Structure formats: C-alpha cells, structure tokens
Chain A
Amino acid sequence: MTTDSLPANGDPRQLLSDVHALARRVRLDQRLTWVTLLVLAVVTYLGIWFDVHFMSVHCTAEHVCRFSRQGVLYYWPPVLLLAYAAIAYSYIRVARARGLGARVMPYAITGAVTTLLFTAAWVAERIYWAGRALPANPQPTPSWVLFVDRLIGPWGMIGIALLVLARLERNVALFAFTVGYLAVVLVPINFGWIGNGGNTRTYWVPGQVISATVLLLGAAGFALAGRRHR
C-alpha cells in the first residue's frame, strides 16, 4: 500500500482500466434486477384474476358484445404504484446495507408516470366509448390501434419503465431481456385461442400468463446470475 502521488503502476491504461473495473463492480452491487422482475411478475399474475373477475360483458342477440375491463382500470394503477414504491424501497435498503447509494429513483418515477399515462389513456378510451351505440356490423379493429392499445396497457408500460432501469444501471442483459419482453407483449401471440369464438372474459388471459411467466423466468435468471456473480 502506498500513499505516493505516483502510483506503483502508473500506466494510464492500467489506471483507467482500474477505474472502469471499480465502477462496474459498484453497478453490479447496486443491482436488484431479480426483485424488480419478481414483483412485476406477481403483480401481473394477480392482475389476471382481477381482469377476468371484474370484466363487465354485455352481448346482444346478434352476438355483438360490449365489454369493459374494470379490473384492469381499478386494479393496475394503485397496484403498479405500490409495486414501484416497493421496488424503490428494496433497492435503497439493499444498496444501503451493502454500503452504497441507490440509483433507482428515476426508474420509480418513470414507472409512476407511465402508470398515470396508461390510466389516463384507458379513462379517455372509456369516455369515448361510453355514449356510443354498438355497431350492428362491427369491423375488425385496425392492427395499429391494437398495437397502441397493447403499448399503453400496463404490460407495455412495465416494459418501457424496464428500459429506463436498464439504461440507469447500464445493464445490457436487462436491456436485451426487456426488448424480448416487449416483443412478446406487443406482438400478438396466437396458438389458436384468438378468433375461434372464445369467451370474451378469458380472451386476454393467455397473453397475460405469457407476460407474467416471461417476467418470472427473467427474475429466476437474474437471481441465478447474481448469485453466481457473488
């Protein structure tokens, strides 16, 4: 150990490499990615029951149905806000116990903002449809509308907030995972349950199960990787 101004190995390359290695070590010690994904997976699984149970469906004799996903509207905003608060608290607590500060607040704020954004969009959509009569011969919804609908839903917004977390943590693995997650959420997956006259109430269940399972598998993967790292 030395206190000299000139280091024993004063090679600038070595010094710079040491600085980068230390910074990387700190970033790894600040991460709690698996907890984030686990909380979001649990919240998504629970949300399925609320969506199915509280959905209001009214069908006409011509089998044209009007539905309202009350569960999504009343369950997701408060629960997502609580989830982001819990994630931020866990990050701060764990980082503090490890002797570090946390860099999670911008993620929690982004999560809260995206939650408010999706809530506003869903309320606006509800107001739009509220006073309108059901069309006698409904046309299929354009695919871009469905895409936007999936993006501004809670599942899409979870992905957008995760991209912010990946950027904050400079976490390439989380970025790659989130891109995959968003692809699963935004691109409709159909193994035959859509368009076969299925139940309106359970129409969205498979997609939500897939989203939640992807998050859960991600949580397991990041937990294992973190354990190996430590």
Chain B
Amino acid sequence: MIDAPDPDAAHPITGLDDVVHQRVRLGILAIAHEGRRVEFGYLRTQLDLTAGNLSKHLSVLEAAALIEVEKGYEGRRGRTWITLTPAGTTALADEIARLKQLIARVETSDTPEDR
C-alpha cells in the first residue's frame, strides 16, 4: 500500500539513485533478486544487450557494491554468475518504493485544473 504523498515532503525524484535508476541496471537487479543468482547469458538474453554493454552495466553495479560477480567453469565452458548483495537488495527495494511514490505523486497532482 502506498501512503498519500505529503505535498511538503521532498519530491521522490530527489532521492533517486543514479546507479539504480536506469532501465538496464534496474532490470539486472530485478532479475538477480528474483533468480537468487543469475548467469551472464540469461541476463543478456532477457535484457537484449550485447556482451560489452551488459559488462559495462555490471561493472557499474559491482563498483557500487550492489552485486557480486563470480566467474567459474562448468566443464570447459566459462560461466559468470551474478548475485545481489544485501546493499543491492535494499537499493532495489528503495528504487521500487520511490517509483511507486512518483506514480502516486503524479496521479494526485494530475487534477482537472492541471489539464
């Protein structure tokens, strides 16, 4: 449930984290959270990215300590697994809460006088 937004409170957009508030990185966090751990190839397919582009986003998230990257082998095949850190879980939850606040704010300010 979303509380009615307080008009005097800081606008939710001011609390958005640039690292997380990005479509691809938010997608990575959402998939890693739901999947417990996720393989590089799965992320690439689901997000429709090139390997280079995905690596770039993963580096940003890893530098912010939101994910852990584990490289290993399965047979002869190299595999990279991504796991969300506790900070990543919190960041994802915060981002979703802020998005909901933003939606609520837009909906309440979208009165007939505004149109």
Chain A residues close to B by CB (< 8 Å): 1-9, 12-13, 15-16, 18-19, 22-23, 25-27, 29-30, 95, 98-103
Distance in Å: Cβ of A148 to nearest Cβ of chain B? 37
Distance in Å: Cβ of A9 to nearest Cβ of chain B? 7
| B38 CB–A CB distance under 8 Å | yes
Which residues of B sit under 8 angstroms from A27, Cβ to Cβ? 34
Return the chain A residue nearest B107 by Cβ.
Answer: A13
Which residues of B sit under 8 angstroms from A7, Cβ to Cβ? 21-23
Distance in Å: Cβ of B100 to nearest Cβ of chain A? 7
Chain B interface, >50% SS class: helix
Q: Is the CB of A19 within 8 A of B100?
A: no
CB-contact partner of A98 in B22, B42, B99, under 8 A: B42
Q: Is the CB of B33 within 8 A of A23?
A: yes
Distance in Å: Cβ of A7 to nearest Cβ of chain B? 4
Contact count A vs B, C-beta below 8 Å: 82
Chain B interface size range: 20 to 34
CB-contact partner of A26 in B23, B35, B49, B57, under 8 A: B35
Which residues of A sit under 8 angstroms from B99, Cβ to Cβ? 12, 15-16
Which residues of A sit under 8 angstroms from B56, Cβ to Cβ? 3
| B27 CB–A CB distance under 8 Å | yes
CB-contact partner of A100 in B38, B53, B57, B102, under 8 A: B38
| B26 CB–A CB distance under 8 Å | yes
Return the chain A residue nearest B17 by Cβ.
Answer: A5
Q: Is the CB of B35 within 8 A of A5?
A: no
Distance in Å: Cβ of B22 to nearest Cβ of chain A? 5
What are 15 A-B contacts defined by CB distance under 8 Å? Answer: A2-B24, A5-B21, A5-B22, A7-B21, A9-B23, A16-B99, A16-B100, A18-B26, A29-B42, A98-B42, A99-B39, A99-B41, A100-B36, A100-B42, A101-B38
Which residues of B sit under 8 angstroms from A22, Cβ to Cβ? 27, 30-31, 34, 46
Known: A22-B31, A23-B34, A30-B35. 10 other contacts (CB 8 A): A1-B49, A1-B53, A2-B23, A3-B22, A3-B53, A6-B21, A19-B26, A19-B96, A22-B34, A102-B36
Q: Is the CB of A3 within 8 A of B27?
A: no
Q: Is the CB of A8 within 8 A of B23?
A: yes
| B14 CB–A CB distance under 8 Å | no
Which residues of A sit under 8 angstroms from B30, Cβ to Cβ? 18-19, 22-23
Return the chain A residue nearest B104 by Cβ.
Answer: A12
Which residues of B sit under 8 angstroms from A2, Cβ to Cβ? 23-24
Distance in Å: Cβ of B74 to nearest Cβ of chain A? 8
Distance in Å: Cβ of B49 to nearest Cβ of chain A? 6
Q: Of residues B22, B34, B39, B50, which shows the largest number of chain A Cβ atoms within 10 Å of its Cβ? A: B34
| B103 CB–A CB distance under 8 Å | yes
Which residues of B sit under 8 angstroms from A9, Cβ to Cβ? 23
Q: Is the CB of B41 within 8 A of A19?
A: no
| B3 CB–A CB distance under 8 Å | no
| B106 CB–A CB distance under 8 Å | yes
| B18 CB–A CB distance under 8 Å | yes
Q: How far is the CA of A126 from the CA of B27 in the complex (A)?
A: 55
Q: How far is the CA of A19 from the CA of B91 in the complex (A)?
A: 14
Which residues of A sit under 8 angstroms from B34, Cβ to Cβ? 22-23, 26-27
